Structure 1
């Protein structure tokens, strides 16, 4: 399968896209009950949303890591997702970009975009990347109050797939059916997507918009000022 180097793949309908977050039960249970995030969720912190189910599984260790034992599938409007991408700044500058302009945009933007290596079910890195979207400030407010149309606890499904994986089964048919997500050309440029191109020739696996060149991709979910992983 020839997958573009940076491509958004997701479960989506004509009006919504599904993103994933993992939380402690103290946050997850009230959110599922209320169908929206409520305290102790903290609005003032950056929160990261991930359209890739398998990247979420890599991050939360199939819902086994502390503070990440409940996985939520959050349906948001495609209009809201587009707003986030329109107002995004890459977490690392593209090659040849004006450093001062990138830093100015990074400070001003309520949304950060990072591309990290996609993972297979056993957490092996794949040769293409998946998007993570970090929301702060106005973007968090819009996410919480306008974009969310549903929240589903999929932890049971996560455990079922993980058990099948540990039993040596092929879990392909048990995974969410993600498809390439259509992006207008202007949004693709804004977030650094490469919908019709392979991985840049000669680029290191951890290059711009993913992680430090020559090193592992940075995990943007780490840090005390961020919510959701």
Structure 2
């Protein structure tokens, strides 16, 4: 596994990303396969293909306003389009020729790319880093109306895995995790988002 690479659950047409919300946002989204108010269309929304990263961030759906875990299936061409528009949240010297170049691109970016430590089933930080993608308010309507193929409530699965973890049954818990593998990308996209 590379230090930074996109790992995700995906099939021929879609890739799965995760978000955590309260019931006022989650329940209408599950029902209609798209987000509705009170979901904010005026600020950046962050999507993450790593199930375990979001589990750590949301404390397995126990944090306030993060009680529902949604698996959002995005069309692969739209996911790749987002990555191709992405600008890293820090001025990686292997991607940008100067801090000035990065600053200019970042200020105009419709998509932000951030790499964070991947997490283990026990919650520990791993050496590998996982991607999260920020969709700006300039693209959020398109994301909601065109990119989403399906929104699935995986909260019951999260609760089941969480209970197994608490009982120390990590082997059983691991069997229930989504199967995430390396997502194939064009070399130019890999280079532009800092994959190495």
Q: Secondary structure at the match of 1:39?
A: coil
- TM-score (normalizing by structure 2): 0.96
| Equivalent in the alignment of 2:191 | 189
The corresponding residue for 1:172 is 174
1:36 counterpart SS class: coil
In the comparison of the two structures, how many residue pairs are matched?
Answer: 192
Per-residue deviation at 1:5?
0.3
Q: Which residue of 2 aligns with 1:81?
A: 79
Q: Which structure 1 residue ranges, 5 or more long, are not aligned?
A: 195-229
Q: CA deviation at 1:122?
A: 1.6
- Deviation of 1:121 (Å): 1.3
Out of 31, 34, 40, the residue aligned to residue 33 of structure 1 is 31
Residue equivalent to 1:54: 52
Match of 2:89 in 1: 91
Query: 1:35: Cα distance to partner?
Result: 1.0
Q: Pick the structure with more helix per residue.
A: 2
Separation of aligned partners in 1, 2:149 and 2:183: 19
**Match status 1:128 vs 2:128:** yes
Q: Deviations over 1:27-50 (max 9, x none)?
A: 001111111101111111100000
Q: 1:137, 1:104 → 2: CA distance?
A: 18
Q: Point out 4+ residue stretches in structure 1 off by more than 2 angstroms.
A: none
Task: Report the counterpart of residue 159 of structure 1 in structure 2.
Answer: 159
